[in-house]
Amino acid sequence: MGETECPSLGDLLSAVRECRACEKHLPLGPRPVLRAGESARILVVGQAPGARVHASGIPWDDPSGDRLREWMCLDKDRFYDESQIAIIPMGYCYPGRGKGGDLPPRRECAALWLDQLLARLPRIEVTLLIGLHAQRHFLGSRRKRSLTETVKAWREFAPEYLPLPHPSARNTPWFRSNPWFEHELLPVLREQEKSRPTR
């Protein structure tokens, strides 16, 4: 679908939800999970839905999402208010599992849709880059050698971007060995959200 055929964000989201471009690679079939409103000021870019989110169709509807909301100091009502917060992962459908856990997000999503979606979100002020895939895409050569170094260098990317680790429980050792994350970066993240106007 070309830009001229898809003038509104709503039309574009409908088109994305019909996408079957990489269907043959998806063990549970296509089910794009993303949400956005034109007035959104925060963009959350994660990796790809896990099996639980695939089943519910609700992004971050899992323990990782609970931790992310805790980081942001947001309850579910505010987190899922798409007029304020857009949630667009790097891959929109559950990619399946490999030996080391869930597979990486399908690259087709960003190639087909991401620029078109971003063009229809003119009020985004801060983009949360959660995990390596989002940081690689949005920061390009500005990204550091490791996720830890990239997150530690967050001041270089703020206020446009805030790089974050994935809030998965599997990263608990990382949170423990990087206490600066909780003491330095999370207060900034919370401040970003608090500074948004309430409806």
Residues that bind ligand SF4 in the complex, under the rule CB under 6 A: 16, 19-23, 30, 32, 91-93, 106, 108-109, 112
Q: How far apart are CA 186 and CA 42, in angstroms?
A: 15
Q: Which amino acid is at 53?
A: V
Contacts of 67 (CB under 8 A, 6+ apart): 167, 168, 169
Q: Give kind and range of the element (H or E) at residue 87.
A: strand 85-87
Q: Which amino acid is at 116?
A: Q
User: For residues 22 and 106, is the Cβ–Cβ distance under 8 A?
Assistant: yes
User: For residues 92 and 48, is the Cβ–Cβ distance under 8 A?
Assistant: yes
Residue 89 C-beta: closest distance to ligand SF4, Å: 10
